[in-house]
């Protein structure tokens, strides 16, 4: 058995599928372009877990044996881990209850895996497979923060599993259904976060530069225009002018961190002043993130198909500041008041720390996929191109996640498309993972749901 690692830059550019709305369902059919199944598959795994490593090797072995045309892509850390494990010849490096890579891989097959720079991985990936928990998905998606995300097939091998509908023991059948275009996906929206920094010792030119950034953000949202660079619709120039933009699958959090004083935040909604809050911070969450930090802070649980943005305060000084659910079309701006006694305020996106904010900075937050009143937005099969994505011209309309014909429609390029078992998986997850609405009596050794 030989295992070699090659650069993924030599692989063809990835092609993304189309998502066609299922009749009488909030799920979408995953349709690969020209009936061509995916060839470049990126595998993300939970780090530091021997059982997950064994599962990944078993999965790679299966792909190389049954789907020889598939190219397996991993990040550099995983590639180094596999090569280190392969070169290790002492039994002390392998736990007694785990198998070595030599035992797991077919000795008659030459195995090739691909890795490279993050931008190369993003450019080539057509399907993402995660082995781990919800954190593994968030980490994998963060790689595609400012580009179109490929469809995600997730296997539950971690601690939390709100996003993990599939058991790894059924991986052969599950993958075949995705590969052959017989699977369905649930659309999950992302948030866009744009940061405009106050210029210290600013001049008139700096003021003009800040105003230009604000104008570019507004342009990107005119008529529901996407901020993901797409040269064919003319939005790439404006996108490049925004200095700091990042997308969130779960939430955007502004928090005082280790500073002793409350933060003072001026909140604007749709260009209208809403309120000033003194609090530990605020959370802006997607429906997907409604069961994460927002829930712990008293926010509502929201179905992933509901087009909205959750605004949840963290320990506000005013007891009348309650969590809010805003329409996904809302443009939200948070300005850190100049009266803040804290000179550094933490900004985290999906749990990943970003550069600190300072008094006078602005954070603009909006839903990545805006629902417009102009009807369905056209979308076609996409190809990655660095941080850009192009349309081939094939048009397909995708209705909103709620399945209502009266609401606006999603374009099928943005957001996150998670391979799903059925449209009722969400309610099962609430009951099995949260013990939703269960009494103390039910918790005594009783399994509430199968």
Measured in whole angstroms, the distance separating CA 308 from the mean position of its chain's CA atoms is 16
- Residue 412 annotated among the catalytic residues of the structure: no
Q: Token pair 């969450």 is at which residue?
A: 285
Measured in whole angstroms, the distance separating CA 51 from the mean position of its chain's CA atoms is 25
Euclidean distance between CA atoms 188 and 154, whole angstroms = 14
Distances (CA, A) of 323 to 208, 261, 262, 294, 366: 35, 22, 18, 9, 17
Taking the CB of residue 231, how many other CB atoms lie within 10 A of it?
14
First-to-final CA distance of the chain: 41
Q: Which member of 49, 120, 123, 134 is catalytic?
A: 134
Euclidean distance between CA atoms 228 and 220, whole angstroms = 9
Active site residues: 134
């Amino acid at each position: 058995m030989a295992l070699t690692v090659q650069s993924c830059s030599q692989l063809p550019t990835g092609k993304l599928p189309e998502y066609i709305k299922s009749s009488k369902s909030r799920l979408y059919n995953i349709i690969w372009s020209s009936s061509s199944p995916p060839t470049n598959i990126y595998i993300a795994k939970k780090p530091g877990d021997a059982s997950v490593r064994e599962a990944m090797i078993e999965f790679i072995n299966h792909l190389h044996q049954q789907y020889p045309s598939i190219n397996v892509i991993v990040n550099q850390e995983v590639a180094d881990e596999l090569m280190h494990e392969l070169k290790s010849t002492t039994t002390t490096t392998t736990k007694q209850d785990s198998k070595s890579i030599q035992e797991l891989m077919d000795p008659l097959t030459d195995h090739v895996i691909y890795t490279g720079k993050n931008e190369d991985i993003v450019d080539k990936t057509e399907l993402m497979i995660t082995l781990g928990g919800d954190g593994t998905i968030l980490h994998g998606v963060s790689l595609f923060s400012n580009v179109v995300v490929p469809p995600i097939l997730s296997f539950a091998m971690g601690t939390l599993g709100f996003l993990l509908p599939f058991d790894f023991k059924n991986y052969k059948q599950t993958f075949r259904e995705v590969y052959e275009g017989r699977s369905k996906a649930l659309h999950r929206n992302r948030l866009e976060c744009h940061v405009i920094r106050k210029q210290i010792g600013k001049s008139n030119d700096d003021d003009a530069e800040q105003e230009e950034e604000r104008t570019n953000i507004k342009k990107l949202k005119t008529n529901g225009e996407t901020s993901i660079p797409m040269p064919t619709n003319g939005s790439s120039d404006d996108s490049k002018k925004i200095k700091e933009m990042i997308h969130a699958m779960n939430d955007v959090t502004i928090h005082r961190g280790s500073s002793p004083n409350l933060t003072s935040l001026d909140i604007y909604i749709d260009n209208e002043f809403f309120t000033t809050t003194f609090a530990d911070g605020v959370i802006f969450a997607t429906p997907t993130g409604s069961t994460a930090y927002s829930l712990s802070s008293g926010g509502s649980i929201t179905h992933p198909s509901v087009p909205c943005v959750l605004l949840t305060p963290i320990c506000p000084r005013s007891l009348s500041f309650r969590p809010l659910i805003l329409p996904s079309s809302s443009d939200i701006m948070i300005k850190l008041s100049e009266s803040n006694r804290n000179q550094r305020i933490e900004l985290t996106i999906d749990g990943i720390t970003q550069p600190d904010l300072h008094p006078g900075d602005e954070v603009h937050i909006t839903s990545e996929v805006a629902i417009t009143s102009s009807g369905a937005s056209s979308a076609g099969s996409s190809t990655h191109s660095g941080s850009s994505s192009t349309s081939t011209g094939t048009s397909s309309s995708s209705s909103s996640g709620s399945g209502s014909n009266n609401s606006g429609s999603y374009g099928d390029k943005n957001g996150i498309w998670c391979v799903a078992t059925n449209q009722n998986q969400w309610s099962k997850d609430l009951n099995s993972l949260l013990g939703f609405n269960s009494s103390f009596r039910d918790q005594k050794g009783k399994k509430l749901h199968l």
